[in-house]
Chains A and B, each alone.
Chain A
Amino acid sequence: MVIQINKLTKKYGDLTAVDNLDLHIRKKEVFALLGPNGAGKTTTIRMLTMLTIPTGGKALINAQDVTSNKVKKEIGVVPQHMNLDLELTAWENLELHGRLHNMPRDKLKARINELLTFVEINPRAFELASNFSGGMKRRLMIARALMHYPSILFLDEPTAGLDPQTRRKIWDLIRRLNAAGLTVLMTTHYIEEAQILCHRVGIMDKGRLIALGTPQELMEKVGEVVVEFFGGTDTGYKFFARRQQALEYVSHLKGDFLVREVNLEDVFVEITGRKVGD
């Protein structure tokens, strides 16, 4: 296991942001923590990256406690909010990161060139980061997190607020990084993102892990086909193991309805009784 989380807890006064979280993440896995705002996904990542101090429990990365300075060399972090240094150019942002990780000067230049090419920012390497679009900033943040050759990448809502085209570019980057051997732990509230990118998914709600498995396993738990029926202001859901059963059911339905395959959003709705964005 690359990441071992045991009974990890974070409390802010009376509020329990993360509640006794147990989770193990495997080497070279792309794992997503899925859930609505306030579910505890970001707090979990912040505890694993030592930006937030846990109230209880333990987390190990490559068998070392996350409070150890050695862990910092193993992890790359892309936070949800934009935290590039806007007074520096793209090149300087990467150089600063390399210097902070004490990278040898002769390797810095080659690594910066390699990463700026990888995220397709090379032509604008010497422009201030403040001039970049949201998508370019996010790609530069990924490049920055990779500077010191981490083996684990934490991505907190990597595509939040990005347009569909840019989102797909980020997905391609994540796939390529994983193919190169990186373990990725990401958070998202985009169901499609988790379904497309991840080997396994953990669904969090109110600080607790309420479901865990591959997207396929989780979807099979609720059924193969769902009928969405619309009455008044509410939408109803009914799950079926076989499409034939669903079709028989709708033959008796009055009003509007939709028959479709189950997705991860349905899993979330079925488990929590709420939609992801609620």
Chain B
Amino acid sequence: MGFYAVFWREMVTLKRTFFKFFASRLVSPLLYLIAFGWGLGRGIKMDGGNYLEYIVPGIIALSAMSTSFNAVGTSLNISRLYNKTLEEYLIAPVTAQAFVLGKVLSGVVRGLIASLIILGLAFIFRAHFNLNGWLFLVIILTCFLFSALGVIAAMTINSHEDMGNFNTFIILPMSFLCGTFFSPNQLPDAVALFIEILPLTHASLCLREIARNGDILPVSLGVLVAYTLVLYAGAVLVMQRVRD
């Protein structure tokens, strides 16, 4: 039950700072929806539908990614390098698997809340889409894999500044290029091919298909599951090797 102790700690702090977290998760998607849904996107049609309905699944994927990655990665990196609170877990009889699971699940909870905020906003903006279990499964997988990536980054990057650089060079480009605001098919072939390997692309594609038709894309789901397993295993491995 070691993972639950780790998860419990995260939920205690989330509860304490919930209003601040909620407000901060509201701002970016609200701006995206206003700028790209109402503003720029008012006259744009994508795949026969309005642009607002096109971008909502992409914004959910993007928000799930950035929230879960930063919730786990940034705090864990600070805990390892500056506060040294990670030592409390290293001296406790908690396995690396349990520690990573607890941290990743806390990232999933935060990512899910951020996604629900966007769903709420989308309804306010009168976007129409299907809600079903597949949609939540894809959101959870997206949060899980990016939380695990957050653990790997936090355990291997040795300065807070470089964590910021990881965000700038990896997370931010994915936010814009992985099918969030436009189809990767519009990019040059070589770039599109690379973009299609990335997990956020498959999260966006999957969520868009579910929102539009209620159906899952099996290949994209498979890619997300594969990323989840590989990144979780990677996170456990770096956690096992964190001692100097």
Contact = CB atoms under 8 A, between A and B. Distances in A.
For the residues of B in contact with A, the DSSP-based class is helix
B219 interface: no
B189 interface: no
Given A51-B243, A52-B243, A87-B16, A100 B92 contact: yes
Contact of A100 (B5, B83, B243, B244): B5
Contacts of A52: 243-244
B87 interface: yes
A61 to B, nearest CB: 12
B4 interface: yes
A79 interface: yes
- Interface range on chain A: under 10, 10 to 19, 20 to 34, or 35 or more? 20 to 34
- Interface range on chain B: under 10, 10 to 19, 20 to 34, or 35 or more? 20 to 34
B8 interface: yes
A96 B244 contact: no
A175 interface: no
Interface string A58-88: 0000000000010011010101010111111
A24 to B, nearest CB: 22
Contact of A72 (B1, B12, B92): B92
A221 interface: no
Nearest to A52: B244
Nearest 7 A/B pairs, CB to CB: A99-B5, A100-B92, A83-B84, A72-B93, A100-B5, A87-B13, A69-B93
Interface of A: 49-53, 69, 72-73, 75, 77, 79, 81, 83-88, 92, 96-97, 99-102, 144
Interface of B: 1-2, 4-6, 8-9, 12-13, 16, 83-85, 87-94, 243-244
5 contacts: A51-B91, A52-B244, A69-B93, A88-B12, A100-B94
